[in-house]
Every structure is written in structure tokens, then in C-alpha cells.
Chain A
Amino acid sequence: MTDEVFGGYGGQYVPEALMPAIEELEEAYERYLDDDEFVEEFERRLGDYGGRPTPLYHAPTTSERIGADVYLKREDLLHGGAHKLNNALGQALLAKKMDKDRVIAETGAGQHGTATAMAAAALDLECEIYMGEKDIQRQQPNVFRMRLMGAEVVPVDAGSGTLKDAINETLRDWATNVEDTHYVIGSVVGPHPFPSMVRDLQAVIGRETRRQIQERAGRLPDSVVACAGGGSNTMGAFHAFRDDEDVELYAVEAGGSGLDIEDDRAPHSASLNVGEEGVLHGARTRLLQDEDGQILESHSLSAGLDYSGVGPELAYLVDTGRVEPRTADDTEALEAFHQLSREEGIIPALESAHAVALLEKEDDLGDVVVVNLSGRGDKDLDTVMQESALADDGSMLREEGDR
């Protein structure tokens, strides 16, 4: 049944009630993602509505300090402020084709919810977004944005009130309203065909990057770096380079406040780095779980990376050695957030700041490095102000600022 098998990862572990909808989606995906007319409409809308292509920016100060040419793929400039629109718009168009007039989605950072709300408004679809209580608190601006665009935002207080819990609740809604509703999953996770489909919709990032870097640097990069929550900006950035053996691919997960697991909590979100194989949210993949198979609550300062699972294809690419898994912890991400803001005049999303942080940590990224700047940091200002206040007496942030 599973058409695309990622070395045993993937699959369709969902309630029977959803299987017919998933079969229907599989058909639609296979039919429309190769259909010239559909692809043309998708690309046109990504252009005149979304603002694609996004620039590839040579970051001068960072480059000089690191001693390598660092290019930022500016997904932060995509409409909505993150790469999420690529996927949300594509799926909303598919929902139309499947005659579904309602879309639902989970969101962590609120970026995917925002992108889905935008696509739904633009295509006249009813839209409901599930978001964990904790994430609602820490990503207020995005909650308002979603509501402004006509989406209903439903708080989820189960579990730790983060992305995993929001996905559970969206799956329950889908199982109830599956006949007229499409679930716009926000990352390369979930049952097949979602991981493949979301990757294909996000692959525009890597296709553009590959062309742009050849124009700019006259060659392919030595490495491409992206942060990984579920892994959609990661897979989107990597896909066009998968067969370029000389291009190293780095997936940076949230190291949170440490990589050890205590009680029922993982103080991090590093499922690629330290997770074990299991089944969560419809797919076999690497997860944070205890020895019985209960899923552990994850942690990251960035809501968008705060997830106990990861996309099955990315797990597979790590197993095969094609993708190098890395982590950046909360402190390193915050430092990168401040540094990029100050040095380049670009405020990154806290998620993307994890990818930027690898520049400081990894010695052999090579001479030409692309960092996928998956989103902008406006949504994170509250969190960063709070963290800065906490750090106010003499810690690294102050020193950073004074330097």
C-alpha cells in the first residue's frame, strides 16, 4: 500500500475511518502534482501571491567572520513570513480539486496556521486551526493574524499544549468531518502520502537555491543547512541536492536545554539525533519515547521545533548517512538570533536561528554554505524579550549586546 517506502519508515498508521480519505488524497496527489495546469496555477500563485522566487542573499558580515561564503535562502520573505505557504497553498489547491470546502490544520509556531489561514482566505475555504495552549501563549501575534484572516483558532490543552497535542486534536477533527474536510498537515510528517507530498510542495526551495547558487557562486554549495522540527523546510531545501554527493546536508534539531531524558520529559526535540523507531501520527519514524513506547513531551524554546517526532524520509536519510543530524540548544539559538539581527539586519525565526547557530559550531561546512532561513522572527519578539530580561544580569546576552 505504501507507495514510497523510506527504508521501513513511513506507512499509514491511521484509523480506518480516515483510510478512504487518504486513498483519495493519494490519487489526487499523483494526478495533480504531475498535471501541467495544476502546477502552473500553483506556481503562478506562489509568484504573484506568495512572492516567489525568494532571494538567495550573500551575508557579508557572517561570511567574513566565519571565513566562508554564507548564503541565506530567504524563505523569511515569503508571504506570511515563513516557508509554510509553499505547502499550505499547494494543499489548499488540492482540497479544491477534491471538492472539500473546509480545511483544518495544526500549528506550533503559528506559521503553518497562518499560511493555511492565508491560503484558505485566498481560495475561499472554511478554516479551523488547532494550536496548543502553550504555543498560543508564546506566539500571540500569529494567533491574531490567523483570526484576522477569518480562521477559527481552537486551543488544545491536552498533554503539554504543544505541536504533538495539536496534531492529535486535528486528527480527531479529521476523523469526524472527513467527508467535507481536508487536513493540511504542516510538515513532512503523518501518513503517506503527506511526507512525500509536502516535500514535493516544498521542493521549490531547493530548486531555486540550486539555480541561484550556480548563478552567484558558479558552483554548488559545499553544504546546505536547515533546521528540523517535522522537517519540511529541511526536505524542501535538501531535495534538489539529494543526488549531489559533494553537497553535505545538515539537519539541525532543537537541543533545548539538554539531551538527556528525565522522567517523562525530553528537555529537547532531537528525534533524529537520539530518537528511536516507533509509530506516531500515522507514520513509522524516529521518535522521543520511553521504553514502553509512550511518547515523551519534547521541549524547545522555539514552538515550531518543539515536536517529539520527525518526518520519516528525513529519518531514513539520516540512517543512510546522506543527511547529517546536528543540534543547537536554546542558548545557541538565542545567540544566533541576536547575532544575525545585529550583523545582517535580518531577524530570523527562532526555528531558523537553530540552523544559523550551526555556523558557529560546525568546523567543516566548507567554503560555500547555504543556510535555509525558514522564517522571520517577528512572532518571537515576546519570547526573546523575556529571555533577554531573564538573562539581564551579566549573562551572555548582555555581553553579546555590549560587544
Chain B
Amino acid sequence: MIELPEEPALITYFTAGHPRDVDVADVIEAFERGGADVVEVGLPFSEPIADGPTIQNAITEALDGGMTPDRYFEAVASADVDVPLVCMTYYNLILQRGVDDFVADCKEAGIEGVIVPDLPVEESDELHEACRRHDVDLVFIVAPTTTDERVERIVDRVSGFLYVQARLGTTGAREDVSGETYEALDGLRGYEVPKAVGFGVSEPEHASEIVEGGADGVVAGSVFVDGLERDGVEFVEEKARELKQGAVEGGDS
């Protein structure tokens, strides 16, 4: 199961199979060297409705390059790391493999958590059960529109960490931290589960500000997907280090 550190955490995302010529395990290992505390490895689905253009394009390229769930599990299992891994994917891929089989395959590949952006808490009974059976965390997203009543339901089910969506819309790197982020964090203060803020985080200053606002960690994805394509795994390690440091500085102030 996922254990976030005492100090502010960095959670990173990339899409398995993008860029095509980069080894999945190499990326995961670079993230670990850069100080990431959790690595989300995206399993590409053909209809990524929660993702913005950067990750959409990465997914298209990964699928064109032949990434499949079988290859994904194989590639992830070959990474030689201690950093906890999370599988991020859409529900149809889980359903077609068989919900229990999917989670069992995650466990076997060394994946400790699952996050499914098109699965609201109401539809999560089966996956929740399977995750409990296999000791895998099920992470849920809280959005700026989520009502207090829904937060209760989500917090009831979530484990590992709560993914706080910083703004409405899809994934993608942004210039600033939205005001909604602080409001959301204020509203969640009473809950013990660790809170990680994502959607738009791309710079160390964002990470600092978000941690100052009360988050236990930050999630960054598109910035890595973009950089991987441009500069390869060296970028990943470097950028992770910067963001981690930004988060830690936010915790010191």
C-alpha cells in the first residue's frame, strides 16, 4: 500500500509507451532518482475523456506503438524501484480484463494503487472490493465542483491519498495555481487522508504554493509527458528534483 513521506510529497505521471523508443522502466527509475514519492504510470485507453491535448497525444502515440495491457504489466514489472507505483487508466480496460484479474495483475507487477478518472465513487463497488482483496489502494479524485456530501462518500472509500483536482477541465500544464485549489484544500482540512493536488502543476513555485496552502503533496503529469518527448529521461530526473524541492520548500515556510 502507498505510504506518503512525512515531508511534502511529489507524485509524478507519465504515459506508458510514450515516447515509443523510451523504456517504461527507465522512466520510472529516473523518477525515483529525481525524488518522486509515487509514480503514476498511465495505461493508455483510446478515449481519454479526462485528459487534455498533451496526454491525449501521448496516449495516441503509445497505442500506435503497440502498447497493450499485457505489455504494460510486463514493462512495469521490470522496473527495479522501491517507489510506490500507481496505475492510472480508464474503466473499460479494467472491465475487459476482469476487475479482479486486473487488480491481481497490478499487484503482481508491483503496482500498489489504482486511479480511474471515469469511475465515480458510485460505480466503484466492484473495483473497491477487488482492491481490498489484493491490498491495493484505490485513489479517488475530488473536483472543484464536488459537494460536501460527495466528499464524505469519497473520503469513506479512498485509500493511499486523495487526488485534489486543482481546477475544472482536463489535465495539462498551466501557468499558475488556481484560487479554487486553496478553497478546495480549506474544505478538506478536517479529513485525515493525505491530499495531493494535481491538474496544471508544472513549476516548483506551484508546488511550494500548493503545499503552503495545506496539501500533503503535488501531482505533475503533462509537464513530464511534454519534456520526455523533447529531452528524454534526463529531463524527468531533473524536473522531478526541482518539483520535489519546491514542494519541500513550501513545507518549510
Contacts and interface: CB of A to CB of B under 8 A. Distances in A.
Contacts of A1: 122-123
Contact of A16 (B45, B46, B92, B143): B143
A1 B94 CA distance: 21
Contact of B146 (A20, A279, A289, A291): A20
B232 to A, nearest CB: 26
Contact of A13 (B48, B96, B119, B146): B119
A175 interface: yes
A171 B47 CA distance: 11
B120 A12 contact: yes
A2 B50 CA distance: 22
Contact of A171 (B49, B63, B97, B119): B49
Interface stretch (B32-40, B162-170, B223-231, B242-250): B162-170
B46 A294 contact: yes
B47 A19 contact: no
Contacts of B52: 172
A168 interface: yes
A390 B154 CA distance: 57
A176 B169 contact: yes
B56 interface: yes
B194 interface: no
Interface residues on A, range: 35 or more
Interface residues of B, number: 42
A179 B147 CA distance: 13
Interface string B25-59: 00000000000000000000111111010001000
Interface in B108-167: 117-123, 140-147, 150, 154, 165
Interface string A261-297: 0000000000000000111111000010101111100
A19 B169 contact: no
Contacts of B122: 1-2, 12, 19
Interface in B55-108: 56, 60, 63, 68-70, 90-97
Given A20-B146, A295-B46, A13 B91 contact: yes
Given A168-B49, A293-B45, A293-B97, A278 B143 contact: no
Contact of A291 (B46, B56, B96, B170): B96
Interface of B: 45-50, 52, 56, 60, 63, 68-70, 90-97, 117-123, 140-147, 150, 154, 165, 168-170
27 contacts: A1-B122, A12-B122, A13-B91, A13-B118, A13-B119, A15-B120, A16-B140, A16-B143, A16-B146, A17-B168, A20-B146, A20-B150, A164-B47, A175-B170, A176-B168, A177-B168, A178-B168, A278-B92, A281-B49, A287-B92, A289-B96, A291-B96, A292-B70, A292-B93, A293-B94, A294-B45, A294-B46
